[in-house]
Amino acid sequence: MITVALAEAVTTLPRAPGLAYEPKFDGHRLVVVRTVEDVMLQARSGRIVTAAFPDLAAAARQLPAGTVLDGEVVVWYEGRTEFALVQRRAAATPARAAVLAQSLPASYAAFDVLELGRARPALPPVRAAARSSSSTCCSRSARRSSRCP
């Protein structure tokens, strides 16, 4: 599992050179991992949700192998993002997900590039689970951990 930095509530926004702010979308946090073999979509909880978003997985296959993105999956409805529709997509069975991908297509707003093009093979599920317990990645607002994949 890749752990990402979380937003923190503050009473006032810090102001300093080099700081940037991004919009908060009404969606689910999602890490996209493009390996040499395929794509993995991981929810913030660590749950693998690739089957629930076949449209995003297909788009992510166009990324260079070794790319890891941190962002938000959203579903647009009547000109705005709709959280309930993202939840519906995330809970779908693989068969239902294919239908929902057509009627409620997902969009992905990437706000951090954690890796770019450092190709590595996918790990078998058992090794991936063992490795995940020690992997941590941070956003651009914090230094990257030396334990990041």
Q: Has 38 been annotated as catalytic?
A: no
Which entry of 7, 24, 58, 61 is annotated as an active-site residue?
A: 24
The whole-number average pLDDT for the span 11-19 is 86
* Mean pLDDT taken over the chain: 79
CB 131 within 8 A of CB 124: no
In this prediction the pTM is: 0.70
Q: What is the pLDDT of residues 24-51, one digit of tens each?
A: 778 999 999 999 999 999 998 999 999 9
Q: What is the pLDDT of residues 95-128, one digit of tens each?
A: 999 999 999 999 999 988 988 886 555 544 443 3
